[in-house]
Structures are given as C-alpha cells and as structure tokens.
Amino acid sequence: MQTGIKFIMAVITIAAACAVSSCASTGQYMPLSKDEPVLGTAQAVFVVRSSLFFLESAKDAVNTHAYISLLEAAGQKYPGAVDVRDIVWVTGRAVDGQNTEVSATAKVVRLE
C-alpha cells in the first residue's frame, strides 16, 4: 500500500513539473490581409511578467510586447518601411517565479 501512495505522489509531482515548464498559452494577433505581399518572416523571444494568460488583459499585454519585439526584428532583417502581421506567440518555460519566456513569429509586409 505504501508503494502505491509513493507512486501516485511521484506521478503528481512529475505532472506538476511538466505543466509549469510547458507551453501555457498561445495568442494570435493582427491578421494578414489578402492583398498584403509577404516579404518573409520575423521571430522574437522575450520575457514577460508571469500572469494568468487566459485573461484578456494579459493577452493584450503580450500581444503588444510581441508586436514591438517582432517589428524591431523585422526592421533589422528587411530594409525600408515594414510592418508585421499574423503574429503568433506561445508561452514557454518559466524563467523564475515572476517571469515567463514567450516565443513569437510573424509575417513581414512592406508598407507603402
């Protein structure tokens, strides 16, 4: 009986550790219009304050951070006036008790 309880506790501990270190949430932001020609893609990884990512206010903050980070990455990769569309982000590992790493990608379009 004691072995069964230890096994169950071990499974719960492993599941909790995996949940903390795995992807917690995703977001999509600024869809691409059909008439916008795509130059390529941009990627960014940044750290945000950990919060409840299912709350709309938290997603709005991550969307804004993703847009700014991706726009900067796109400007370094593509010359001229560019913008980013079809932003997709995924939360990743917890950096510490207060911050979470976020990976984001987007399509880069030329502004006219």
**Any idea where the domains of the chain sit in the sequence?**
23-110
Q: What are the tens digits of pLDDT across the range 47-84?
A: 988 776 667 777 888 899 999 999 999 999 999 999 99
Output the six-digit token pair for 56: 């709309």
pLDDT tens per residue, range 19-51: 444 445 667 788 888 888 899 999 999 998 877
CATH class of residue range 23-110: alpha beta
Name every residue whose Cβ is closer than 8 Å to that of residue 67 and which is 6 or more positions away in sequence.
29, 30, 84, 87
CA distance 56 to 67: 16
